[in-house]
Amino acid sequence: MYNVKSLKADEFIDHQEILDTIEYAEANKNNYELIDQLLEKARPVKTAEGCVCSGLSHREAAVLLACDEPKYIEKMYKVAQEIKDAFYGNRIVLFAPLYLSNYCVNGCVYCPYHLKNKHIARKKLTQEEVKAEVIALQDMGHKRLAIEAGEDPVNNPIEYILECIDTIYSIHHKNGDIRRVNVNIAATTVENYRKLKEAGIGTYILFQETYNKKSYEELHPTGPKHDYAYHTEAMDRAMEGGIDDVGLGVLFGLESYKYEFTGLLMHAEHLEAVHGVGPHTISVPRVKHADDIDPDVFDNSIPDEMFTKIAACIRIAVPYTGMIISTRESEEVRRKMLQVGISQVSGASRTSVGGYTEKERPHDTEQFDVSDQRTLDEVVKWLMETGHIPSFCTACYRAGRTGDRFMSLCKTGQIINCCHPNALMTLTEYLVDYASEETKKVGYKMIEEELKKIPKENVRKTAEENIEAIKNSNRRDFRF
């Protein structure tokens, strides 16, 4: 029985509710009067305090996803962009994954780290190697990392993860610092989530892979990840452990995209109903080729057009949530996704253990093939040329603006007086310390124009003064 407030996975992700939702959407996909009403309902509305957005329920959003009329798909894209602009402006946050270890005891059939893969090179970074990787990432200009590790209680215990986090935060190289560490590790206990919170992590990320319980158990035949309920209920334990910001995601291509889309939104609704705040981020990865993995084996792959539509409908349904697209996708796909609501992208990613210290991109320990292999400088320049501000900001996490406090900031429209100037100041840091001359030229021109958009004169003046200080000294890390 479907119960959005239940703490049982089978009840807040109810199989029959998903099937009924898909049936309802199919029956109404040509109900253009309803679709017009939904799009109008979803549009951001300006208020005296800022902007508000109602979002859509999983059933309502499923109707939009089912609609295949080109005119209405274009309307969806337009509304998605309106929502993203209203709450996140033209900022795009940049990050990089850092793979600590590919030791894993699970049997996930879509991942090359599965236990039965005996020919992949297994590797676990020492703390000295972690330090070298972090310095390499700092020398690119990164300030925000997402650490990744396979599930192995012997090789990758929580103590190892905590030690790595401590090492990462301790490294100050030239003008470089990693100011925020997000964590993408296997589902764990409330006690361990408390330890991660105490270590100062940003967002705890865990992809569901698939919300279809039967498919989930078949795709995870062995290992602790086989337990569907334990995995699906992880975000509730994380929030119980004090982690304000959690990141959801499914691996599109494993199961029917309609099923995954509905389950994902039901999970977001559940977190909002139980904890008072939905997911901080939603990621939309697709199955990709990797060692020992052929994506063609999975018969639920989705074309780029549908993938873009899925992202737009997620943005419309959960307007205040950050949305992430990684280097799994090509430059062309990422460009399209930026136009329908994406707010975070990875840059210059290497998905191998110890990959950043290698001159040539290593492939022997990669978790998946990287489609967008441009340098961070190239990605930064590309973002600016497409009208986006590359942001390396991490201020909210260190100022305690997390969970419902961040959502309040987002909903009242105060991001323009906070995140916008912070983005410009961190972009200035990047330009001064790491950028090519060509990228600097584009960047300084953008900063000059974007400063004019800050509505509060005192905020704009302070931002201008801080930017000049960054340009003319080694002073860094100014933030509102």
pLDDT one-digit tens code per residue, 100-124: 999 999 999 888 888 887 788 899 9
pLDDT one-digit tens code per residue, 254-301: 999 999 999 999 999 999 999 999 999 999 998 865 555 555 665 567
The C-alpha atoms of residue 118 and residue 298 are separated, in whole angstroms, by 22
Q: What are the φ and ψ backbone dihedral angles of 3, each rounded to 5 degrees? A: -150, 105
pLDDT one-digit tens code per residue, 294-333: 556 655 678 899 999 999 999 999 999 999 999 999 999 9
Amino acid at site 239: M
Tell me which H or E stretch contains 35. helix 32-42
pLDDT given at position 418? 84
CA angle 159, 162, 164 (to 5 degrees): 110
pLDDT given at position 416? 66
- Cβ neighbours of residue 360 under 8 Å, at least 6 residues apart? none
The C-alpha atoms of residue 164 and residue 176 are separated, in whole angstroms, by 17
Look at phi and psi of residue 454 and say left if phi exceeds 0, alpha if psi is from -120 to 50, else beta. beta
pLDDT > 90 fraction of the chain, expressed in percent and rounded: 81
64 vs 361, residue with greater confidence: 64
pLDDT given at position 406? 75
The C-alpha atoms of residue 205 and residue 75 are separated, in whole angstroms, by 31
The C-alpha atoms of residue 276 and residue 269 are separated, in whole angstroms, by 10
Q: Are 212 and 174 in contact (CB under 8 A)?
A: no
* H helices present in 97-254, as ranges: 127-140, 158-170, 190-198, 213-219, 228-232, 234-240
pLDDT for 364 beyond 70: no
- Global pTM reads 0.94
pLDDT for 370 beyond 80: no
pLDDT given at position 413? 63
The C-alpha atoms of residue 316 and residue 42 are separated, in whole angstroms, by 6
138 vs 351, residue with greater confidence: 138
Q: At 52, is the pLDDT very low, low, confident or very high (cuts 50, 70, 90)?
A: confident
pLDDT given at position 316? 98
Structure tokens at 289: 């080729």
pLDDT given at position 291? 55
pLDDT for 11 beyond 60: yes
Residue 352 CB burial class (10 angstroms; 0-12, 13-18, ≥19): buried
Nearest to 203 by CA among 57, 375, 322: 322
- What's the whole-number average pLDDT of the chain? 93
pLDDT for 436 beyond 70: yes
pLDDT given at position 50? 74
The C-alpha atoms of residue 312 and residue 83 are separated, in whole angstroms, by 10
- Cβ neighbours of residue 9 under 8 Å, at least 6 residues apart? 213, 228, 229, 232, 233
Which residues is 323 bridged to in the sheet?
282
**What CATH number matches the domain at 87-401+403-408, 3.30.1330.10, 3.30.70.80, 3.20.20.70, 3.40.50.880?**
3.20.20.70
Q: What is the mean pLDDT of residues 24-36?
A: 98
pLDDT for 422 beyond 60: yes
361 vs 54, residue with greater confidence: 54
pLDDT given at position 366? 59
pLDDT for 99 beyond 90: yes
pLDDT for 395 beyond 90: no
The C-alpha atoms of residue 310 and residue 259 are separated, in whole angstroms, by 12
Distances (CA, A) of 364 to 8, 112, 126, 144: 39, 10, 18, 25
pLDDT given at position 363? 59
pLDDT one-digit tens code per residue, 55-64: 999 999 999 9
Q: Are 320 and 42 in contact (CB under 8 A)?
A: no
pLDDT given at position 404? 72
pLDDT given at position 119? 81
The C-alpha atoms of residue 151 and residue 132 are separated, in whole angstroms, by 23
Q: At 36, is the pLDDT very low, low, confident or very high (cuts 50, 70, 90)?
A: very high
pLDDT > 70 fraction of the chain, expressed in percent and rounded: 94
151 DSSP assignment: -
pLDDT given at position 367? 60
Domain ranges of the chain: 17-85, 87-401+403-408, 413-472
pLDDT given at position 432? 98
Q: At 398, is the pLDDT very low, low, confident or very high (cuts 50, 70, 90)?
A: confident
What's the half-sphere exposure (Cβ side, CA atoms, 13 Å) at 170? 12
Q: Are 395 and 479 in contact (CB under 8 A)?
A: yes
Q: At 72, is the pLDDT very low, low, confident or very high (cuts 50, 70, 90)?
A: very high
427 vs 45, residue with greater confidence: 427
pLDDT one-digit tens code per residue, 160-214: 999 999 999 999 999 999 999 999 999 999 999 999 999 999 999 999 999 999 9
Amino acid at site 17: E
Q: What is the mean pLDDT of residues 345-351?
A: 94
Q: Are strands 144-149 and 322-325 parallel, antiparallel or unpaired?
A: unpaired
Q: Are strands 204-205 and 246-249 parallel, antiparallel or unpaired?
A: parallel
Q: Are 438 and 381 in contact (CB under 8 A)?
A: yes
The C-alpha atoms of residue 2 and residue 7 are separated, in whole angstroms, by 11
pLDDT one-digit tens code per residue, 456-480: 899 999 999 999 999 999 999 998 8
Structure tokens at 250: 């499914």
Residue 70 CB burial class (10 angstroms; 0-12, 13-18, ≥19): exposed
Roughly what angle, to the nearest 10 degrees, separates helices 58-66 and 304-317?
150
